[in-house]
């Protein structure tokens, strides 16, 4: 069977607009000609007219784990009489695979901006109907400018939370092993001589390939968003050197594991480490978890709300986005999950301890040290995926 037909056969279970979308992504990615030949004949955008499911009082949400105040969902359900089906993921790659290969049935998804940036080329999102989301006026203009780098004109997305990745650690365990540990430096995780000191109490790194590599490049004094294979190779050497000292590579387990003293050091996202701190405090066993953004800087990202092109309940999605942008609702979310939201008037109802926490809302000087992650070209992505697989398996 010709390769092109073989590739086309793989699309058989999917409806035509999914194939169109996937083909657009392939074309944008510059994949080999034979595979692209399978896309000959795919044309036309996904339909954007009203759908039969539109009148259903249902909303299907796909968000990161540990990323919402649960009572916000039930309050939305009560206020609008809409039932919310809420699923979670812990990596952009999982979300991306779903978006690009089939009907997800989701009405709201939450990619990081750097992922949305290239997913937009695959036509997987629907433009926001801004007239139906009046609370867009509450969005911090500084954040809107930042997310416009990914989504020019902010046509398809709006910020949900913005984040940094930094270092989470168990104060007592680290002090006991290395009283002068460089807790404000990425050397804690990426210098084998340092991280080796903590291997016995448990170390983890995020399963977020592009973000981890960007962070290592920052430490190496190279450009974090580089797409040069030589830079990737340099980062791979660092990751290989610390691999023996890592207990696991994962993007969600570390919250409970830090809180329960099952690991002592993690590369983690700001709010996740803060949640680990709160869970440890609530457990009352004397575990103190600290979040540090290294002085040399860190990678930042903007997780945005977006509506898939084939979402079955678009009107309900608009209502939910508008609800999340209400100041009192955004404040309740940030109070619990400890991530910075972009709803400026939410700072008033927000717990002052959260609003003034430099790990959640970094002050201007620290904010200037943050490097927003950007999309890399497809050729680089393929090298990155192969390298990450070797890193994860320790080969």
Nearest-approach distance from CB 262 to ligand N2P, in angstroms: 18
Nearest-approach distance from CB 278 to ligand N2P, in angstroms: 13
Which residues sit opposite 62 in a β-bridge? 87, 109
Nearest-approach distance from CB 306 to ligand N2P, in angstroms: 13
Nearest-approach distance from CB 159 to ligand N2P, in angstroms: 12
List Cβ neighbours of 272 (8 Å cut-off, separation of 6 or more): 66, 168, 252, 254, 255
- Give the residue, chosen from 23, 39, 163, 264, that forms a contact with ligand N2P under the rule CB under 6 A: 163
Which residues sit opposite 88 in a β-bridge? 63
Closest by CA position to 122, among listed 46, 219, 208: 46
What's the burial of 338, exposed, middle or buried (CB within 10 Å: 0-12/13-18/19+)? Answer: buried
Instruction: Tell me the window of 1-9, 59-67, 187-195, 322-330 that interacts with ligand N2P (CB under 6 A).
Output: 59-67
x-or-dash pattern for ligand N2P, window 339-368, by CB under 6 A? ------------------------------
* Closer of 87 and 191 to ligand N2P (Cβ): 87
Can you tell me the distance from the alpha carbon of 294 to that of 161, in angstroms, rounded to the nearest whole number? 21
Nearest-approach distance from CB 260 to ligand N2P, in angstroms: 17
x-or-dash pattern for ligand N2P, window 250-279, by CB under 6 A? -------------------x--x-------
Q: To 10 degrees, what angle do helices 378-393 and 16-29 make?
A: 90
Its sign, for the CA torsion 115, 116, 119, 124, is positive
* Closer of 272 and 318 to ligand N2P (Cβ): 272
Can you tell me the distance from the alpha carbon of 67 to that of 80, in angstroms, rounded to the nearest whole number? 21
Can you tell me the distance from the alpha carbon of 303 to that of 272, in angstroms, rounded to the nearest whole number? 14
Which secondary-structure segment (H or E) carries 62?
strand 58-64
* Closer of 31 and 371 to ligand N2P (Cβ): 371
Residue 117 makes contact with ligand N2P by CB under 6 A: no
Nearest-approach distance from CB 370 to ligand N2P, in angstroms: 14
Q: Considering only residues 171-230, where is the footprint of ligand N2P by CB under 6 A?
A: none
Instruction: Tell me the window of 32-40, 58-66, 191-199, 316-324 that interacts with ligand N2P (CB under 6 A).
Output: 58-66
* Closer of 270 and 346 to ligand N2P (Cβ): 270
3-state secondary structure of 200: helix
Q: Using CB atoms, what's the residue nearest to ligand N2P?
A: 64
Q: Compute how many residues bind ligand N2P; rule: CB under 6 A.
A: 10
66: DSSP letter: T
Q: Considering only residues 60-89, where is the footprint of ligand N2P by CB under 6 A?
A: 64-67
Q: Considering only residues 84-113, where is the footprint of ligand N2P by CB under 6 A?
A: 112
Can you tell me the distance from the alpha carbon of 304 to that of 85, in angstroms, rounded to the nearest whole number? 19
Q: Are 334 and 341 in contact (CB under 8 A)?
A: yes
Q: Considering only residues 286-305, where is the footprint of ligand N2P by CB under 6 A?
A: 301, 303
Phi-psi region at 311: left, alpha or beta (left = phi > 0; alpha = psi -120 to 50): beta
Nearest-approach distance from CB 85 to ligand N2P, in angstroms: 19
* Closer of 20 and 110 to ligand N2P (Cβ): 110
CA angle 77, 80, 83 (to 5 degrees): 40
Q: Are 319 and 307 in contact (CB under 8 A)?
A: no
User: Interface residues with ligand N2P (CB under 6 A)?
Assistant: 64-67, 112, 163, 269, 272, 301, 303
């Amino acid at each position: 069977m010709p390769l092109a037909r073989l590739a086309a056969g793989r699309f058989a279970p999917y409806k035509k607009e999914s194939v169109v979308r996937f083909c657009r992504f392939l074309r944008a990615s510059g994949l080999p000609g034979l595979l692209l030949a399978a896309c000959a004949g795919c044309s036309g955008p996904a339909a954007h007219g009203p759908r039969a499911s539109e009148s259903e009082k249902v909303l299907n949400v796909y968000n990161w784990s540990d990323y919402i105040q649960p009572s916000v969902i039930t309050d939305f359900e009560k206020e609008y009489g809409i039932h919310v089906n809420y699923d979670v993921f812990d990596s952009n790659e999982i979300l991306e695979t779903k978006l690009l290969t089939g009907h997800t049935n989701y009405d709201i998804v939450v990619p990081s901006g750097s992922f949305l940036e290239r997913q937009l080329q695959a036509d997987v999102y629907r433009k926001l109907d801004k007239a139906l989301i009046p609370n867009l006026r509450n969005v911090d203009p500084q954040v809107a400018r930042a997310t416009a780098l990914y989504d020019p004109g902010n046509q398809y997305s709006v910020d949900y939370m913005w984040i940094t990745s930094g270092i989470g650690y168990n104060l007592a365990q680290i002090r006991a092993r290395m009283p002068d540990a460089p807790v404000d430096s990425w050397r804690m995780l990426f210098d084998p001589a340092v991280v080796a000191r903590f291997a016995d109490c448990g170390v983890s790194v995020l399963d977020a390939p592009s973000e981890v590599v960007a962070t290592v490049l920052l430490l190496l004094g190279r450009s974090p968003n580089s797409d040069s294979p030589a830079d990737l190779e340099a980062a791979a050497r660092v990751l290989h050197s610390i691999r023996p000292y890592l207990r696991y590579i994962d993007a969600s387990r570390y919250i409970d594991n830090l809180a329960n003293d099952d690991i002592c050091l993690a590369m983690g996202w700001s709010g996740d480490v803060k949640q680990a701190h709160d869970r440890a405090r609530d457990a009352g066993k004397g575990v103190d978890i600290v979040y540090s953004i290294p002085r040399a800087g860190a990678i930042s990202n903007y997780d945005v709300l977006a509506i898939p092109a084939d979402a079955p309940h678009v009107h309900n999605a608009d209502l939910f986005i508008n609800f999340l942008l209400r100041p009192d609702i955004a404040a309740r979310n940030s109070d619990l999950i400890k991530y910075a939201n972009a709803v400026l008037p939410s700072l008033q109802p927000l717990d002052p301890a959260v609003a003034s926490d430099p790990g959640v809302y970094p002050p201007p000087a620290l904010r200037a040290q943050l490097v927003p992650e950007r999309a890399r070209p497809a050729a680089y992505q393929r090298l990155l995926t192969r390298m990450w697989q070797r890193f994860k398996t320790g080969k």
